Amino acid sequence: MNVSPTLLGSFSRLRLALLASLLVVLQGCGIIYKTTGDVLINYGRAEMVPYLLMDDDVAMGCATGEALTPLLLSFEAVGSNPDRLAPLVYTVAATCTEALALEQELRYSRALKDGRVAEAQDARTMQKRYLRVTAQRYHKAYQRTTAQYGEADNGQCPRLRTDFDELVWLVGQIAGVQAVLNDGASDASLGIPRDIAAKVERGAACVDNEKWWGVPNGTRAALWSILPMFAPEGADPWREMDRSVRMGFEQGVRLPSALFAIAAHSVGDEQRVRRAVREFAKNDQHIDQNYAMLDALAEFLITGVSDRLWTEATGKRTPFGGLGTFWDDQRSSQPAFDIDDLL
């Protein structure tokens, strides 16, 4: 077949034009993507996070974290910076697998109680799989926090300009401790650096304790109770945690109380665990609605501790509506008044 040179010439010109327009379109996409990313990230920071924090639905928080994290973080590839949002979404995403791990832990306890060894071993395996993913998510939350703000060292704190920065920092610190603990519980399979605990002990001091419901000192004191070598000389971790717990109750975010219960459970102090769970349940009147999600997360954590105790003792978790009670509480059918007076 003969093709005229003129036709060939116009074809190659057309091809060049096509290539050029494709390039422009692709570049345009880049610009549009980055703009979309910036808008989404700013929107997330200004609107979505405050909205989500007002919701006490932990399952919704978890689903949001799992669904939105890849979307938000993918904008990094086109030049947007999601570092301030990432610790929050990774942390709520971690609660999903943490809940699954807890279910397996309870299954393990039940199986053990009934002497079903194979099922108990299977539940442990599943628990470790979920804990590993949980540790990974918390660790990413912590890494993103340090990528954005750096680390606290020798009394030097990072510059936290806004309340949002302080909140992200604080969440990132707690995520750091959680990463180490969850990694440990999954046979240290990720090998997350253990010095995060010490770094968080310093980092938590970088935000105002009273402003953040006693969580900063509560976190530090919880670490002192588990690792006394980090405590300043003469410090009394339980008294310090008690102060934080009161502060949390007064301000309507009961996270310090959950931290107290977790620390007491970790060192095997069941009396303190019980006291913390009872007080937590009693102080549910004045929840700060702007931070309902954080209080709900605290409830999720402390219910987990209560469920572990209940299941080990009875094979069943905390009865519905029964948070703050224990299986061996004295229940008397005898009224406190003298029946003879009525007769």
Partner 1 sequence: MRISRFLSVAVAALALGFTSQASANTQLRLCVFDIIGSSGDIFNLMRDYRTAALGEGVDFRMRAFTDENIAYEELTGGQCDVAAITGIRGRQLNSYTGSLDSIGAIPNYDALRMVVQVLSSENPRITPNLRHGPYEVIGIAPMGAAYLFVKDQSINNVNALAGKSIAVMEYDVAQGRMASRVGMSPVMSDITNFSGRFNNHSVDICFAPMAAYSALELYRGMGPDGGIVDYTLGQLTMQLIARHDKLPEGFAAWSRKYMFENLYDRAQAVVDNAYNDVSDDRWIRVSEDDTLRYDEMMREARIDLTEQGVYSKEMMSLLRNIRCRLDSSRGECSENLE
Q: How far apart are CA 228 and CA 169, in angstroms?
A: 24
Minimum CB distance to partner 1 smaller for 64 or for 178? 178
Return d(Cα 177, Cα 154) in angstroms, integer. Answer: 19
**234 counts as binding partner 1 under rule CB under 8 A:** no
Q: Say if CB 222 and CB 180 are below 8 A apart.
A: no
73 near partner 1 (CB under 8 A): no
The set of residues, in sequence order, having a beta carbon less than 8 Å from that of 314 and lying 6+ positions away, is: 327
Residue 271 found at the interface with partner 1 (CB under 8 A): no
CA atoms of 300 and 117, how far apart (whole Å): 28
Under rule CB under 8 A, residue 184 binds partner 1: yes
Among 5, 155, 191, 335, binds partner 1 (CB under 8 A): 191
Strand-pairing partners, residue 153, are 156
Nearer to partner 1, 194 or 282 (CB): 194
* Residue whose tokens read 């572990």: 308
**Radius of gyration (Cα) for the chain, nearest Å?**
26
Q: Examine residue 228 and tell whether it contacts partner 1 (CB under 8 A).
A: yes
Q: Is 302 in the site for partner 1 (CB under 8 A)?
A: no
Total interface residues for partner 1 by CB under 8 A? 26
Q: Mask 139-178, x = binds partner 1 (CB under 8 A)? A: ----------------------------------------
Is residue 227 part of the contact set for partner 1 (CB under 8 A)? yes
CA 22 vs. chain centroid, Å, equals: 44
DSSP class of 289: G
Nearest CB to partner 1, comparing residues 99 and 185:
185
Q: Give the Cβ contact number of residue 334 at 10 Å.
A: 6
The two structure tokens encoding residue 341: 């007076």
Site string for partner 1, 11-50 (x = CB under 8 A): ----------------------------------------
- Answer for which of 120, 200, 253, 301 binds partner 1 (CB under 8 A) is 120
Query: Shortest gap between Cβ of 108 and partner 1 (angstroms)?
Result: 8
Collapsed DSSP state (helix, strand, coil) of residue 235? coil
Q: Which part of the chain contacts partner 1 (CB under 8 A), choosing from 34-42, 59-67, 85-93, 108-116?
A: 108-116
Residues contacting residue 324 through CB under 8 Å, at least 6 positions apart: 277, 278, 280, 281, 282
Can residue 194 be called a binding residue for partner 1 (CB under 8 A)? yes
Neighbours of 28 (CB within 10 A): 10
Residue of 297, 328, 284 lying closest to 310 (CA atoms): 328
Q: Which is nearer to partner 1, 112 or 258 (CB)?
A: 112
* 308, 106 Cβ separation under 8 angstroms: yes
Kindly tell me which residue out of 92, 141, 181, 259 binds partner 1, with binding defined by CB under 8 A: 181
Please tell me whether residue 130 binds partner 1 under the rule CB under 8 A. no
Tell me: does residue 313 bind partner 1 (CB under 8 A): no
Task: Note the residues at the interface with partner 1 (CB under 8 A).
Answer: 108, 112, 115, 117, 120-121, 124, 181, 184-185, 187-188, 191, 193-195, 197-198, 226-229, 265-268
